Amino acid sequence: MVERPPLDEDRRLAYLEAMGVSVWEPRASLPVSAEPLVVEPASVAAATDMPTATAPVAREVPPAVVDERPVTAERSVSPEIVSPPESMSFPLPDWEEEADYSPALLDEWEAMGHPPTTEAEAVNPIERMDWNTLGATVRGCRACRLWETRTKTVFGTGDRRADLMIIGEAPGAEEDSQGEPFVGRAGQLLTRMLAAIGFSREQVYIANVLKCRPPGNRDPKPDEALACQAYLHRQVALIEPRVILSVGRISAQHLLKTETPVGQLRGRWFDYGPARIPLRVTYHPAYLLRSPEQKAKAWEDLTEVKRRL
Ligand code: URA
């Protein structure tokens, strides 16, 4: 007879399932491993664009494998928050830090907008545009050279009155061809991460720092991010989300005007923009696909976001 795992094991498996890790599969059929969880230094991240974790992380033996099957209704998880198991949790700060509000960021908000690149923009500045005009302006945008190589602009998707806004980096190949953010593999993981805290994609608003794909998925250049930022500012101002979740280094560093690595920006609240919207930073789902051992930390970030909403 198969021995039942303890409750904590159930919770851990539920979380890993939400994160697309395939250990959920043998849950019903395999005996629970007698191997204990081991704590060892995190392996060096495969990614060169992300900070290497130095904190010890708990990982199972053998390491979990990313589940590459498409997301299906059966695999969606309960909207309830599943507490992270003790073995995978990291200490959460028990303080709410005073906002780290940079005067430089406020200056930049005041000087919103790039020089008009279309006639419509000349008579109707971005910061006063409604959704329709903003969308049309983005579709015709030539404020930087990315228009030359894009297939479609990727404006944003979801509920325009959402409480939670997700801000990523830039469209990849899939997004460029479909015109929708986060629809590739990383996007599927993001969808599962949101489901784990009880949100569908339709209930949040998802956008990127850049509306056009940088060729070959290279990092956005600073001038491209600046040329595009008025659109994002306007989206934020129209939505007025209660919380912003910034995913990945490019997004976090652009929004917070810093070069601090993501690993050091996580775990605290920032205020964003003149409306001082609470903003939380987490790892990019593409990074989590390469470094699944960091998913426990992303879970901490998501539960904090859920708690705040
Ligand atoms: N990565 C992002 O940051 N945004 C997307 O839309 C897709 C992948």
Q: What is the pLDDT of residues 10-67, one digit of tens each?
A: 555 555 555 544 332 322 333 333 333 222 223 323 332 333 333 333 333 333 333 3
* Structure-token match 């990945």, residue found: 248
Q: Is the CB of 15 under 6 A from ligand 1?
A: no
Ligand 1 pocket test target in 208, 212, 245 with most atoms within 8 Å of CB: 208
List, for the chain, all residue ranges whose pLDDT scores fall below the cut of 70: 1-124
CA distance 148 to 116: 18
Average pLDDT for the chain: 73
CA distance 120 to 123: 6
CA distance 309 to 305: 6
Distance from the alpha carbon of residue 221 to the mean position of ligand 1, in angstroms: 15
Distance from the alpha carbon of residue 207 to the mean position of ligand 1, in angstroms: 8
Would you state the structure tokens that stand for residue 260, as one six-digit string?
Answer: 């601090």
Q: Is the CB of 285 under 6 A from ligand 1?
A: no
Ligand 1 atom at minimal distance to the Cα of residue 247: 3
Q: Is the CB of 187 under 6 A from ligand 1?
A: yes
pLDDT of residue 169: 97
Distance from the alpha carbon of residue 77 to the mean position of ligand 1, in angstroms: 23
Q: Is the CB of 206 under 6 A from ligand 1?
A: no
Distance from the alpha carbon of residue 278 to the mean position of ligand 1, in angstroms: 21
Q: Is the CB of 208 under 6 A from ligand 1?
A: yes
Ligand 1 pocket test target in 146, 155, 169 with most atoms within 8 Å of CB: 169
pLDDT of residue 241: 98
Write the DSSP assignment of 74-111 as a string of letters.
GG---SSPPPPPGGG--PPPSS-PPP---HHHHHHHHT
State whether residue 55 is helix, strand or coil: coil
CA distance 124 to 110: 17
In tens, the pLDDT along 204-233 reads 999 999 999 999 999 999 899 999 999 999
Q: What is the separation of C-alpha 124 from the centre of its chain, rounded to a whole number of angstroms?
A: 31
Ligand 1 atom at minimal distance to the Cα of residue 208: 4
Domains of the chain: 9-54 (no CATH), 103-308 (3.40.470.10)
Distance from the alpha carbon of residue 94 to the mean position of ligand 1, in angstroms: 32
pLDDT of residue 74: 33
